[in-house]
Amino acid sequence: VVAKGAESCEGTGGDCSNCQCPPGACVYDAQAGLDIESAVASAGADTTIRLPPGVSGQQARHLVVSSQRLVLIGDDAGSSVMSFGYGSSLAVQPGASVTIENLRVNGGWTVSAHEGSELVLRNVTVDNLRVLSTNARVLLDNTMVHAKDFYADAALSLRSVGGHVSVVGGHVMDTFDGAKLKLEGYAGASFSFADYTVSGGWQTGPCVLLRGDSSDFSFDGVLIHECKSPLLYGPAPGVQGGNGSAIEFLGLESNLTLRNTNVTSHSSDHVGGCVYAGAERSRIWVYGGSMSKCTAHLAGGGISVIADEVDLHVDGLHITNMILTLSETWGGGIFFNSTMGTLSMTNTVIDSNAASFGGGLFVVANSTVLNRLHLSRNWAAELGGGLASWGTTTAIECTFDRNEAQSGGAWAVAHAFEGTQMHPAFLHIEKCLLDTNFASYSGGGLWVGVAHRPTLETRNVYFEMRMIDSTVTGNTAAKGSGGGFKIDGGCLELVGGKVAGNTARRGGGLFVGGASCATQSQNSWLIGEGAKIEDNEAEEGGGLLVEAVDSDDVRVLGTAGGVPFALSDDGRTVLTRGAGSPDYRVRVCQVPGMHGSSVQCSELDSHGGDAIWNQAATHPMALANDSSIVIIGLPYQGRYLAVDRTGAIVAEKEGQFVKFQESEVPRIAVVNAIRDNHPGWGMSSSVSRDWIAASGYHSLVIFRLKQQIFENVTCAPGVTAMAPSHNGTLLYVASHRRSDGVSNLVQIDAVSRECSPIGPWSASLVDFDTVRALALSPDGLFLYAAVSQKPLEYLDEIVQVLTINIRSGLRNQIATGSEFRSVVALKPLPDGGLMILSQAAVAGTRMFTGPWEFQLFRIFPTSIVVTNAVIERNRATKSRGGGLYITHLGQAIAVSISGARIGDGNFAELGGGGIMISQCWAPISVTGGTRVTGNTARGGGVGGIEIVLSVDARLDSVLVHGNTGGMTGGIGFGIFNDLETGLDIGEGWIMMTNVTMSSNTAVHGDGGGLCIMAIGGGVLRGCTVSGNRGGRGGGLAI
């Protein structure tokens, strides 16, 4: 050894003890055959050893550097060789520093860097390298790893507990087995790779394996190229392969950043051809770079995320040409499955990928945000050619073009996919382009499917879609519906933008149908506010087709202990009694308007009335609107009491008892004889402004609030449910008739107390003991009825809610699919909603024994609203509804068209050239300056507006001009044509005010301007009919 410093000296055999060099100034030129271990052991605190070029036989089996700074440096060409041999090690003790430069290290090498130490490998080439770090600083600068150890688990393995490991430049390649690169981080460790290459060879596991526990991994400018896996070559004998991804990220609460990283031509044996992330509660950032030509079996040819609470952020990435090999696959480009996680993508391109679901991208997430995402030329065998998504999603300035699928050519949204937990979800699409996408069945551009109907189990689960200023053009649904898009459930709000040039068999522009539309912010399907639906084509419903919308959303507002008896007019106050013996206290409970808020209950003042409140047979039946009077029923005794809030009795009455055979009323008699129980099915009440009616089944009384007197009503025995008219003049009741056991809906004059039929249809409705509650709709057109379907166990039953048209008796179920238990009261709301008060046994108890509680539900109504929309030049080539076709709506679904422009060439082959409305059982309104002009129906229908097989319609301030129809030119009501006429409603009612019908033509039929057939009646006021032509009745035919 020759030392160069302040003095020169010589040592032999690596013994440097005679060299007196100042610290930091000693450089040793090693000769061939140097024993490096001995040299390091005897070196000073700050020492450099320079190794000669070539294979010089230096050996260092187990090298330990303690509390010193050591530099091992080879020649600049990197030809110096240090032969460690497989299983060799380097230990950098706490506080020490080791730098190794320009060396070729033969053999597998394990390096450990301990607390506070520093390790630098620069321009080093090694066969296999394993670095173990504990709160140390490690730098690998231009390190080359050429794996030659067949049994090593990784060519380059870096494990760090705390501390930082930095890798700059270099590569790893030619791995025989295991991973090429393996990183393990714990306790806040961090790893960074820059300008690095991983390529070549084959392995049974992933190419890059990252395993982190509260650690950070960062890659910048990294190339991962042509790694192979068992998918192509099969696993090595006796070796257990991993997932096989190019990058596999596992662990917990860690971070991964990929910046300008390119991954190409890798094959995974399961999911995630390029990247697989299974690290729970972790965050992943991808900036720039590309992923291409990766292969996986099942899901995520490019990226696959399968873990809870993962946040993935992608910006500027290009994913292309991924391959999935199984028959049923998900997410050709990206598969993201983290129900409580988030996905955000910006300036990213995903093209030319394929899968069964989500050809380009498949997402199951709590929240997804897409900005300027471009999905192009992707393909899906089933749903979502470009994208299949679940959960709340926002897409802004995104482009979907030339994607293909069976349904949802560009995008399929499901709420929810099979096996996913259901949550409220929102879809926001703004300034996006869906262009030239194709679906072999439905939703050429977009398909939305809500997989549930609203029930009590899903009452707080809803889906809402909002599309703003977006363009949906040139899309095709070849064999199904919704050329532009199909909304099969949930709410839709279409604002601005354009749906143009799309084609389908049904609903050329868009198709709306399915289940509930009621959310926190809207209760309707809204088409309009500047939206344009133009130049679309279908066999029926050329522009817009709305069909089979029949469901309402149900949510629970409050639950509290106690037996329910009555509900206030505003639906917010519940009259209850204690849940069971010995608690019979009467309470008034205030229920908040929003789900999740607590119910507040207070007892009525029992001063002077303890004997009343504490009787087991006491039934608080009704509460005056101002809560000043409570009607108390003692049905077992046949008595009724009017009690004020202090408990004082202000009036009482013996009900006029109507005796029934016990065989006819067994359940009623039994229930009313149980003193410790809750209200029987024979007990009912209703409250008007001036009176309160109450029935204990065997008798019916009316209490006059002003006079504070009771009066008996004898014309309607066996009342099980009742409801007042809005002006208080009538009382509708469901009354049991002794002769044949059929419930008879009758109306009672509140003054004379005489009964009369509601209509000819009301003689027989349902069995006597099935009507549990009645209520009148705010418009007075319908009765709501809670009707028992079947008992579950004693005193418990399933109840459905029906609407009954007072004019026609037509009945329809609302809240389809919801089953309520033991309904006590119904209260309609001004917005069309309905409150339902029901009784249930406390969880874990039986209905017969209690204790009991009440539940208050709200049904949110829905409607179809078209406002300020432009619907022009659409074609229904074989059927009806050239511009707009609405059909088969449920009874609670109203239709409103306002300020719309429908014309300029809409065409229908059969009827409804502009607007076709059929089989709608709720009110229809066309108002607000709507213009229906220049439409054509070539067959036997109406050119402008055709409304058939529907109940009530109102037209106000509408222009119907220049339309041509084979049957009628301008407007036609009740014209059956060749439609099925098995349902003869006969009670439809029309109201037309300030409607102008001009220059319309009926080519072969009657009523050039207006034709009215087969309706119940109507009023026309302030209308103008001019310049029309028809076979009979050029202006008007009735």
The predicted-structure confidence for 42-67, as pLDDT tens digits, reads as follows 666 677 777 777 655 455 667 788 87
Give the pLDDT confidence of 651-670 residue by residue, as tens digits: 877 665 544 433 333 333 33
pLDDT score at 670: 36
Per-residue pLDDT at 787: 80
User: Does the predicted TM-score (pTM) go above 0.85?
Assistant: no
Amino acid letter, 375: L
Radius of gyration of the chain (CA): 40
Q: What is the pLDDT of residue 59?
A: 58
Q: Residue 672 class from Cβ within 10 Å (0-12 exposed, 13-18 middle, 19+ buried)? A: buried
Distance CA 241, CA 205 (A): 5
pLDDT of residue 722: 87
**Predicted pLDDT at 398:** 97
User: For residue 861, what pLDDT is reported?
Assistant: 65
User: Which pLDDT tens digit goes with each residue over 916-966?
Assistant: 998 887 778 999 999 999 999 988 789 999 988 777 788 999 999 999 999
Q: Is the pLDDT of residue 335 over 70?
A: yes
* Res 889 pLDDT > 70: yes
CA distance 977 to 965: 12
CA distances from 38 to 23, 62, 64, 446, 755 (A): 19, 11, 10, 74, 117
| Three-class DSSP labels, 976-1030 | CCCCCCCCCCCCCEEEEEEEEEECCEECCCECCCEEECCCCEEEEECCEEECCEC
The values of phi and psi at residue 381, to 5°, are -70, -30
Q: Where does the pLDDT of residue 344 fall: very low under 50, low under 70, confident under 90, or very high at 90 and above?
A: very high
- Top mean pLDDT of 445-449, 756-760, 838-842 is at 445-449
Residue 472 confidence (pLDDT) above 90: yes
Highest mean predicted confidence (pLDDT) among 376-385, 409-418, 634-643, 785-794: 376-385
Tokens describing residue 694: 């109450």
pLDDT number for residue 221: 95
Q: What does the block give as tokens for 864?
A: 């179809």
Pairing of strands 700-704, 691-695: antiparallel
Of the candidates 617, 694, 708, the residue with the CA atom closest to the CA atom of residue 656? 694
For residue 859, what are the CA distances in angstroms to 785, 798, 888?
A: 14, 17, 20
**How many C-beta neighbours within 10 Å does residue 178 have?**
25
- Rounded CA-CA distance 946/564 in Å is 47
pLDDT above 50 (res 317):
yes
User: pLDDT class for 9, splitting at 50, 70, 90?
Assistant: very low
Greatest mean pLDDT among 245-254, 255-264, 491-500: 255-264
Query: Cα dist. 170→122, 379, 478, 538 in Å?
Result: 9, 38, 53, 60
Looking at residues 412-421, what average pLDDT do you find? Answer: 61
Distance CA 533, CA 553 (A): 28
CB 762 within 8 A of CB 809: yes
Q: What is the pLDDT of residue 974?
A: 76
CA 577 to chain centre: 39
> What is the rounded CA–CA span in Å between residue 194 and residue 219?
6
Interval 616-638 mean pLDDT? 61
Instruction: Please enumerate in sequence order all residues whose Cβ is within 8 A of that of 350, keeping only pairs 6 or more positions apart, or say none.
Output: 302, 318, 319, 320, 333, 334, 360, 361, 373, 374, 375, 376, 378, 386
Integer Cα distance of 840 and 849 in angstroms: 11
Looking at per-residue confidence, does 376 or 689 come out higher? 376
* pLDDT band per the 50, 70, 90 thresholds, residue 573: confident
pLDDT at 537: 96
613: pLDDT strictly greater than 60: no
Are 80 and 52 in contact by the 8 Å Cβ rule? The answer is yes
Q: What is the pLDDT of residues 752-803, one digit of tens each?
A: 999 888 876 665 554 445 677 888 888 787 888 888 776 544 456 677 888 8
* Mean pLDDT (the chain, rounded): 79
Give me the pLDDT at residue 538, please: 96
Distance, CA of 567 to CA of 839 (rounded, Å): 12
Cα(703)–Cα(711) distance, integer angstroms: 6
